[in-house]
Structure formats: structure tokens, C-alpha cells
Chain A
Amino acid sequence: MGSLEQTVHSTDHHGPAKGITRWLYTTNHKDIGTLYLLFSLTMFFVGGCMALTIRAELFQPGLQLIMPEFFNQMTTMHGLIMVFGAVMPAFVGLANWMIPMMVGSPDMALPRMNNWSFWILPFAFVMMLSTLLMEGGAPNFGWTFYAPLSTTYAPPSVTYFIFAVHMMGISSIMGAINVIATILNMRAPGMKLMDMPLFVWTWLITAFLLIAVMPVLAGVVTMMLMDIHFGTSFFDAAGGGDPVLFQHVFWFFGHPEVYIMILPAFGIVSEIIPTFARKRLFGYTSMVYATGSIAILSFIVWAHHMFTVGLPLAGELFFMYTTMLIAVPTGVKVFNWVATMFRGSMTFETPMLFSLAFVVLFTIGGFSGLMLAIAPADFQYHDTYFVVAHFHYVLVPGSIFSIMAAAYYWLPKWTGHMYNEAMGKLHFWLSFIGVNITFFPMHFLGLAGMPRRIPDYALQFADFNMVATFGAFLFGFSQLIFVYNVISCARSGKKATARVWEGSHGLEWTLPSPPPYHSFTEPPVFTNPHRENS
């Protein structure tokens, strides 16, 4: 086995292999990045169809289309697929494509492991989706799979769910190890940690979060497996266990997990806004420290998801204050983005539009999060549509919009063609309007007391639900514009220059568009233009 450099040199003048084996055996970070992104897009539509099934049932009160059992399977699978199948693989795909190019390395540090960590995923999700066809149906206990719903009362397919989660976890951990090794060991000579683009920084921190909490998730599903099949009683009170323990262990994973889904989004937006404001990012150092603070705080706030389980007063106060503390570094970030735009010469191409919508709508989601953090008020909001509105505001116009922004921002670099700007803007506006029509009324529904995860509801909730369903279908179908735009951009279009955008900055823009199959085989010499000035 030759060293990485030798391998790269010996294949330097060969293109990619032909046919399906190119994709099966590939160790090229660009190929694997593409695979991840396409997989994520597929899962986005699968999970989206489930969301539309849910919304269609909720269009009117009463049961019209599906039975409550199937409704529960839809909410569960929608959550699991969007979290583990759409958002996380999309960020790993972007990391694969961009991190080596941003740090000036020829490939990821561990290319073969990279291949493996992608190819586990399709199998994990085939296993997970196959439960829909099984007797007893798919998992129906919500994406949080609280015991004993997921143990004593679970459908038999829960074992397939457990193994699917194990496989996804292994995939994520391998991806995270690869990202850390690439960032720490493969940077171009002269690039210090504090010279790295923010997308690289946020991913480095995200990767550490993944390594810290994905094993805990694996642990909690293993405990479930043992409770179900091997007669242990981790979560079974009859045998001396405790179902509340499940919630503690789950949310010890679950809260850092929600930052895993948003920190890379912060990085993306911190790349895009300076480009289109034609200024350097305001407060780079504070951005790095804010990201680190959010990551550390994420480990001591988990019980704010379980204010109503009967925590002692001291616990409620502790988790309430630590949760509110997270608003400080997040506020620093929002301030820095706004300050970057302040007196910049801004233009509003599609990636910038998505980034601006991200800043505004993510902040709305953050504020409703602060409302939920208030422990006494949370007793009112808990398990209502207010919670649904909150986390969809941070995940859809948060994470998903940032992924869309990243896709439009780097598509010309990846494909060598400009995408259709008019179509991109149409996609943006329909998505922006659709998202708000879908999720904003949910705030009101929640405050009025509509519980989440129900297939039917009282009559007074009918109007807002109807509005939300219209919005959901508008948002869902407008994503087809994105697919069309990506495909047509990959096939043809105006040739893109190396820099693509007037204000772009960073090593990836020194490569031609599209970049050669093997880039930076000779490490570039990196100098930070801002370091001498400061």
C-alpha cells in the first residue's frame, strides 16, 4: 500500500473509472461528496412525501386518508429520515467536497474509510424503510423513541430500526474521524488553525460532537435491544429500571445532535455572506469561539427537553439558565452576520437570498426556543405544535436553507456551469413563502393547545391547519425546481470562471471550475491576506 501522495501521483493523469464501479469503489472525495449529496436529496424527497402525507391528513379535522397507526409511523419515519438521512448526509457530503479543497489537501485523510462510511448508509436506510412493509408496521413511537413505547409496546420491526441506527452511527463516526484527520493533518503549509475558513472550523467542532454523542446513541439503542430481547431492565420499572433514564440518555445524545445539524449551517452562511457583501467576515475569532461555546454548552442543557418529567426545582432552574446562556454565543453569530453586511456592497444572488432567509428565520426559531427554555412556560408549550413550529423553523429554513444556499453557491464550482439564476430565485421565493405559510401558523396552533403527533384535532384548529397544509404542498413541490436546476446545471449552462463569484475568497476558488479529479496534488502555499494587516 503506497502512501497517499504516491497513490495520487500514480493516478494523476487518469480520469475517474467508467461505469457503476466508479461509484462503488471510489475513494475520491469529490465522488463521495456527490454520492452523499445525491443520497441526501433522495432521502429529502422520501421524508418530504411522508411530511405531505401527514399534512394531507391534517388538512381537515376527522380521519380522511390514513389510519392513526399509519399516521404515527409517518411522523416517526419522517423525523428519522430527515434527521439521519437528509440533513446529516448533506453536511457530510458538503464536507467531503469542500474541506479538502478549502484546506488545500489532495483528498480526505482516509479515502478508503470514506468510501465505506458512505456505502453503509444506503443499506441502513433500506433496512429502515423496509419496516414499512413488515407485519405490525414501521416504528410508530416518534423519532425520539421514548421507552417504553419503543420497548414494551413497540412493533416487532423495532429491531430493524435499532440495527439501522447502529449502522448510521458507525457511518457518522467514521465520517467524523475522517474530517478531523483531514483538518488537523492535511492543511496546506502555512495554514494555521485560525486561518481556516469558518465552514472548516464549524465542521471540525461538529465532528468532535459526533464522536462524543453518536456512541451514546448507539449505547441507548443497544440498551433497548437488550431490554427487548435479552431480558434486561434498563428502562423497565418492573425489573428495577427507569423509563426516565431513557430520556436522560437519549437527550444527552439528542441535544448535541441538534447542534450537529446547525453548526455546519453556521459555517456555510459565514462563507456566503462575506462573498456577496464583498467584505471580510466581521469578527472571525469571535465566530470560532462562539461555535466552540455552543458545542460545549450543548452537553449541559439536555434536560430542557424533559421539564415536565418531574425534575426538582433546582434541576429546572439549572437547565433553564444554561439553555438561555446558549442565546449569547448564538447572538454573537447573528450580530456578526449582520455586521458583515453592514455597509457592504450587497448583491442578491440565490445563495445570498437563502443565507439572508437563514439569518432571519433561524433567529425566529431561536426566539421560540428561548420561549420554550422558560421552564414554567414550557409546561404549557410542551408537546404542542409550538414545539413543532420551533424545531421546524431551525431545521427547515435553518439547516435545509443553508444546504440549499451551499448547493447554489458551490454548484458552479462543482459542475463548471452556472445554474439558472432566474429559476434559482423562483425556487427561493416559493420556498421562503411556502416555509412560512407552513410553519408560522403552527405557533398559534401550539399556543392554542393543539398537541403534536395526532392524526385528528378539535374543530377550532381547522383553519390554521388548512393554511399549513397549503404551505407544505407549495414548499414540497417547489423543491422540484431545485432538482431541475441542478440537473440542467450539471448538463449544460454558461461556463463558470474559477472564482465564480466576484467577492469569493479561499483556496477552493483558485482551482478551475470544475476542479480536476485530483486537485492540490502539490500542496498550495497558503498566505492569509488578512494576517499581515492585523
Chain B
Amino acid sequence: MNQLQRRNRSLVTRLIVGTVLMFGFGFLLVPLYDVFCRVTGLNGKVLNNGPVTQSVEINRDRRVKVQLLAVNNEAMPWRFKPQESEITVFPGEMKQTAFVALNPTQRSMVGQAVPSVAPSEAAEHLHKVNCFCFEQQPLMAGEERAMPLVFMIDDELPQHISTITLSYTLFDITPEPRPTLTLQEHRQGVSYE
């Protein structure tokens, strides 16, 4: 192997490593995007999920209006709406409400709600203690259920924000019927998983 071949080989090796690294970087953009959204609070994603550990004092001098929206993703046949479309809360106050879902179809289905908060600056000050969006929601044919939501808004919320919109989009994530399922099982309305 002469010198030129050696130089070519080492250069090509480095370039191929670069290519592989950039392929990996493409996938790395996915978690980076989430981290970026979390750090900057963009995208309206609610990140403070689960129990609030520190006890917060309720600030009764300030009121925040919370508008609740329910949206069906395309082709989702459920009836889906909030129990109250608007509630007023004090910062620090734990508030419980619910969204009502009805499956009007003849089959069992599974739904998943995805939340979004506007304005996005408010996202990091909205704490969800319990939310139906944490889990998949299975509903039998014709079943109706009130799905609970417990949340709190902390007093760090910027002063200029007096109204927060919390919107849920409901997606149909019912698993596709597997080819192995027989027609019989369909008629009996077997729920998958």
C-alpha cells in the first residue's frame, strides 16, 4: 500500500465517521428539540406533571381566568367537552374539574388527549397534579365518562397574564384490528389491550 492509498484510506475513514455521526445527529435533534422546548418553555407543553411537593400559599389578591377547550382530532368520533368552559382560580389554589367524553360508536375505542397551553410563557407555571391526559382512555361502546383534571397555577406567573387557555386535543389511538382476530371477536366487542 503506497502513501497515497494510506492517505486516501484515513481521509475516507474520517469522512465516513462524519457521515455516521451526522446520521446520529439527525436523531439527536429529536431529544434536543424537547430539551430546547423545556428550557425555553416554548411549544405550550405542560411539563409540571404529578403531585406538587412544596406547599404554596394561596394568593387571594390575584385572579387568573382559565379557559378550557376540547378539540377532536380529525376522524375522532367521540363527544368531548369540558364540564366548565371557564374557571377563575387564585394562584396557589388547587382546582379540580373534569372533561366529559362519550363514545357514541358501536365499538370499544381508546383515546389519548394531548394538552397545549397558550400563552406559552404560562406553560411552566401550570402544574397538573392529576390529569386524564397522563393515561390512555379506553371507552366501551356507548360509554360516557367524566375524566378528572386537578391543577394549580403558581404565583410566579408573569403579572401581565390574566387569562390562560388550556386546550386538549383528543386523538383516536385505538389499535388497528390485528389480522389474526376473527370476525367473531369483533362482534363480541373485544377490547384490545
Interface residues of A (CB under 8 A from B): 3-5, 109-110, 173, 176-177, 180-181, 184-186, 211-220, 223, 234, 237-240, 242, 244-245, 248-249, 252-253, 312, 315
Contact A173 B19 (CB under 8 A): yes
Contact B25 A216 (CB under 8 A): yes
CB closest residue in chain B, given A315 = B42
Smallest Cβ distance from A320 to chain B, in angstroms? Answer: 17
Main secondary structure of the interface of A (DSSP, over half): helix
Q: Mark B103-136 against chain A: 1 for CB-CB distance below 8 A, else 0.
A: 0000000001010000010000000000000000
Smallest Cβ distance from B60 to chain A, in angstroms? Answer: 32
Closest 10 CB pairs of A and B: A219-B26, A238-B171, A215-B23, A215-B22, A216-B26, A177-B15, A3-B2, A185-B7, A245-B33, A237-B114
Which residue in A186, A219, A252 is a CB contact (below 8 Å) of B23? Answer: A219
A189 to B84, CA, bound (A): 80
A244 to B19, CA, bound (A): 25
Question: What B residues does A184 contact at CB under 8 A?
Answer: 11
CB closest residue in chain B, given A314 = B40
Among B7, B20, B29, B172, the most chain A Cβ lie within 10 Å of the Cβ of: B29
Question: What B residues does A248 contact at CB under 8 A?
Answer: 29, 33
> Is B43 engaged at the interface, CB distance under 8 Å to the other chain?
yes
Which residue in B15, B20, B114, B120 is a CB contact (below 8 Å) of A240? Answer: B114
Contact A245 B15 (CB under 8 A): no
Contact B173 A238 (CB under 8 A): yes
Q: What are 13 A-to-B residue pairs whose CB atoms are below 8 Å?
A: A3-B5, A177-B16, A186-B4, A211-B22, A215-B20, A215-B26, A216-B26, A219-B27, A219-B29, A223-B27, A249-B26, A252-B26, A312-B42
Contact B11 A249 (CB under 8 A): no
Q: Bin the interface of chain B by size.
A: 20 to 34
CB closest residue in chain B, given A212 = B22
Question: What B residues does A237 contact at CB under 8 A?
Answer: 73, 114, 169, 171
Which residue in B11, B26, B172 is a CB contact (below 8 Å) of A180? Answer: B11
A216 to B32, CA, bound (A): 14
Contact A110 B8 (CB under 8 A): yes
Interface residues of B (CB under 8 A from A): 1-2, 4-5, 7-8, 11-12, 15-16, 18-20, 22-23, 25-27, 29-30, 33, 40, 42-43, 73, 112, 114, 120, 169, 171-173
Known pairs A3-B5, A220-B26. 4 more at Cβ < 8 A?
Answer: A4-B4, A177-B19, A216-B23, A312-B120
Contact B5 A239 (CB under 8 A): no
Contact A238 B73 (CB under 8 A): yes
In the complex with contacts A180-B11, A216-B23, A218-B26, A242-B33 CB distance below 8 A? yes
Question: What B residues does A252 contact at CB under 8 A?
Answer: 26, 29
Question: What A residues does B112 contact at CB under 8 A?
Answer: 238-239
Question: What B residues does A242 contact at CB under 8 A?
Answer: 33, 43
In the complex with contacts A245-B33, A252-B29, A312-B40, A211-B15 CB distance below 8 A? yes
Smallest Cβ distance from A298 to chain B, in angstroms? Answer: 14
Contact B19 A238 (CB under 8 A): no
CB closest residue in chain A, given B76 = A238
CB closest residue in chain B, given A4 = B4
Question: What A residues does B20 contact at CB under 8 A?
Answer: 215
Smallest Cβ distance from A107 to chain B, in angstroms? Answer: 12
CB closest residue in chain B, given A152 = B74
Question: What A residues does B27 contact at CB under 8 A?
Answer: 219, 223
Contact A211 B19 (CB under 8 A): yes
A62 to B114, CA, bound (A): 40
Question: What B residues does A244 contact at CB under 8 A?
Answer: 43
Question: What A residues does B40 contact at CB under 8 A?
Answer: 312
A219 to B19, CA, bound (A): 11
A357 to B169, CA, bound (A): 52
Smallest Cβ distance from A531 to chain B, in angstroms? Answer: 25
Contact A216 B22 (CB under 8 A): yes
Question: What B residues does A219 contact at CB under 8 A?
Answer: 23, 25-27, 29
Smallest Cβ distance from A40 to chain B, in angstroms? Answer: 23
A238 to B1, CA, bound (A): 56
A27 to B18, CA, bound (A): 25
Contact B11 A181 (CB under 8 A): yes
Contact B11 A185 (CB under 8 A): yes
Contact A245 B30 (CB under 8 A): yes
CB closest residue in chain A, given B172 = A238
CB closest residue in chain B, given A238 = B171
A1 to B5, CA, bound (A): 11
A223 to B19, CA, bound (A): 17
A184 to B19, CA, bound (A): 18
Smallest Cβ distance from B30 to chain A, in angstroms? Answer: 6
Contact B30 A181 (CB under 8 A): no
Among A4, A176, A177, A252, the most chain B Cβ lie within 10 Å of the Cβ of: A177
Question: What A residues does B18 contact at CB under 8 A?
Answer: 211-212
A238 to B23, CA, bound (A): 26
Contact B114 A180 (CB under 8 A): no
A216 to B84, CA, bound (A): 45
CB closest residue in chain B, given A312 = B42
A244 to B40, CA, bound (A): 16
CB closest residue in chain A, given B45 = A242
A109 to B23, CA, bound (A): 24
Smallest Cβ distance from B116 to chain A, in angstroms? Answer: 9
